Amino acid sequence: MKLNANKFGIASAISFGVLWLICSVLVWLQPSMMMNMTGHMLHGDWSQMGWHLSSTGVFLGLIGWSAFAGLCGWLLANVYNRINRQP
Question: Does the predicted TM-score (pTM) go above 0.85?
Answer: no
Give the pLDDT mean for 28-34.
Answer: 90
Query: Is residue 53 pLDDT above 90, yes or no?
Result: no
Distance CA 82, CA 63 (A): 29
Distance CA 40, CA 25 (A): 19
Query: Is residue 65 pLDDT above 90, yes or no?
Result: yes
Which pLDDT band, with edges at 50, 70 and 90, does 9 fall under?
Answer: very high
9 and 77 in contact (C-beta within 8 Å)? yes
DSSP string, the chain: ----HHHHHHHHHHHHHHHHHHHHHHHHH-HHHHHHHHHHHTTS--TT------HHHHHHHHHHHHHHHHHHHHHHHHHHHHHT---
11 and 3 in contact (C-beta within 8 Å)? no
Angle between helices 31-41 and 5-29 (to 10 degrees): 130
Highest mean pLDDT out of 3-12, 25-34, 40-49, 51-60: 3-12
Give the pLDDT mean for 39-59.
Answer: 86
Query: Is residue 17 pLDDT above 90, yes or no?
Result: yes
Query: Is residue 86 pLDDT above 80, yes or no?
Result: no
